[in-house]
């Protein structure tokens, strides 16, 4: 569908400089853009790059001026671009239907506007909300609740009594509500600790492919609204993740860890059990958070064990000098040994 630049400016509430009738039908980066693609520039340097693009329309900073492009001015071009791209390229959401091969329990309540794909299994007492799209080969366990406008991509598994809010998106291979890893050793063997708690995923959460989120053991695992979780992440039992947080690929979170609001966790970071990360903290890539450790609000930490970024950089610089320091120490030892030998003569 082709729109006009003036329509986009009105939709985003932005000032327009240039041709209000410039056509827009897609979004792209500057190098690949065609004349009807929208692009964005976050800085003066990027704006020069945008000027050489085939694209006619660009989202740019308020001070950007061009005699060749139609410019929509905004303090945050990247955010405006994300909104505009969704507006220009709407998803191919299906019409309501239940595929003949789907197995839906009689006691399940599937909203009239939902779309259920081939070979989906929906067990007893499940509730599926309006306009929710469950794609082929998904499994929804007994007593689970799925809100409105959710999307479960192929091969998603919801264990019994899982709860999803509205507009939750789960990518292929996601498992919600599996047992946590809890055992007690006694009488010569490992005894499984009960994994009978709840799991709640709030509104507007997105979870990447092959991520697993365990249910509570006796309590609750809670992923709060607008949190975004990447592929291949493991979230243990009784974990709480606050609103608007970001977890990047291969993060592992042990049981009973609590993350506050707006926390950013970079790739391959690992958390021991009962750790606490306060609001707006940043955990660097491959950082190791020890069990029970508290990361204070707004801190940036790195390394294993995790420590403030400034300290990590100082220590890392010294680690890089260890071979040189070792050689100097050996030379000093030889001088000291020679002095001792001379003094003994």
Is 237 labeled as catalytic in the residue annotation? yes
* 47-87 pLDDT per residue, tens: 988 989 999 999 999 999 888 899 999 999 999 999 999 99
C-alpha distances (whole Å) from 247 to each of 112, 229, 299, 312 are 34, 5, 16, 21
pLDDT band at 267 (very low <50, low <70, confident <90, very high): very high
Residues 129 and 277 in one domain: yes
252 pairs with which residues across the strands? 234, 270
Q: Which has more pLDDT, 161 or 323? A: 161
Find the distance separating the first CA and the last CA of the chain, reported in whole Å. 96
186 pairs with which residues across the strands? 189
Residues 134 and 169 in one domain: yes
Residues 159 and 260 in one domain: yes
> Which listed residue (153, 161, 171, 237) is catalytic?
237
**Element (H or E) spanning 258, and its range?**
strand 258-259
Task: Please tell me the predicted confidence (pLDDT) of residue 227.
Answer: 98
Residues 164 and 216 in one domain: yes
Residues 328 and 226 in one domain: no
Residues 266 and 207 in one domain: yes
Number of domains in the chain: 3
Other CB atoms closer than 10 Å to residue 73's CB: what's the count? 19
Task: Please tell me the predicted confidence (pLDDT) of residue 316.
Answer: 85
| 148 vs 139: CA distance, rounded Å | 17
Residues 70 and 176 in one domain: no
pLDDT band at 296 (very low <50, low <70, confident <90, very high): very high
Last residue of a domain, one of 43, 65, 88: 88
């Amino acid at each position: 569908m082709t729109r006009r630049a003036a329509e986009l400016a009105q939709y985003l509430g932005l000032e327009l400089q240039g041709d209000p009738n410039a056509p827009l039908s897609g979004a792209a980066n500057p190098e690949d853009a065609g004349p009807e693609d929208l692009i964005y520039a976050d800085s003066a340097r990027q704006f020069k790059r945008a000027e050489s693009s085939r694209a006619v329309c660009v989202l740019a900073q308020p001070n950007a001026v061009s005699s060749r492009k139609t410019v929509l001015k905004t303090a945050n071009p990247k955010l405006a671009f994300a909104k505009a791209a969704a507006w220009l390229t709407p998803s191919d959401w299906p019409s309501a239907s239940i595929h003949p091969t789907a197995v839906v329990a009689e006691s399940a309540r599937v909203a009239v506007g939902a779309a259920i794909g081939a070979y989906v299994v929906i067990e007893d007492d499940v509730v599926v909300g309006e306009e929710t799209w469950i794609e082929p080969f998904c499994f929804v366990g007994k007593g689970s609740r799925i809100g409105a406008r959710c999307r479960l991509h192929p091969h998603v598994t919801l264990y019994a009594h899982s709860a999803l809010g509205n507009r939750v998106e789960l990518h292929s291979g996601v498992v919600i509500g599996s047992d946590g890893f809890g055992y007690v050793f006694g009488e010569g063997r490992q005894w499984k600790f009960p994994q009978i708690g709840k799991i709640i995923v709030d509104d507007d959460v997105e979870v990447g492919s092959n991520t697993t989120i365990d249910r509570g053991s006796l309590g609750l695992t809670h992923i709060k609204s607008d949190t975004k979780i990447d592929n291949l992440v493991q979230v243990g039992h009784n974990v709480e993740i606050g609103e608007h947080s970001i977890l990047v690929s291969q993060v592992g979170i042990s049981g009973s860890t609590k993350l506050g609001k707006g926390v950013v966790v970079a790739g391959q970071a690992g958390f021991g059990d009962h750790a606490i990360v306060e609001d707006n903290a940043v955990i660097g890539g491959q950082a190791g958070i020890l069990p029970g450790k508290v990361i204070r609000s707004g801190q940036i930490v790195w390394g294993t064990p995790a420590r403030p970024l400034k300290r990590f950089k100082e220590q890392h610089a010294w680690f890089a000098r260890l071979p040189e320091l070792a050689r100097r120490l050996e030379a000093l030892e030889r001088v000291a040994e020679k002095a001792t030998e001379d003094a003994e003569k």
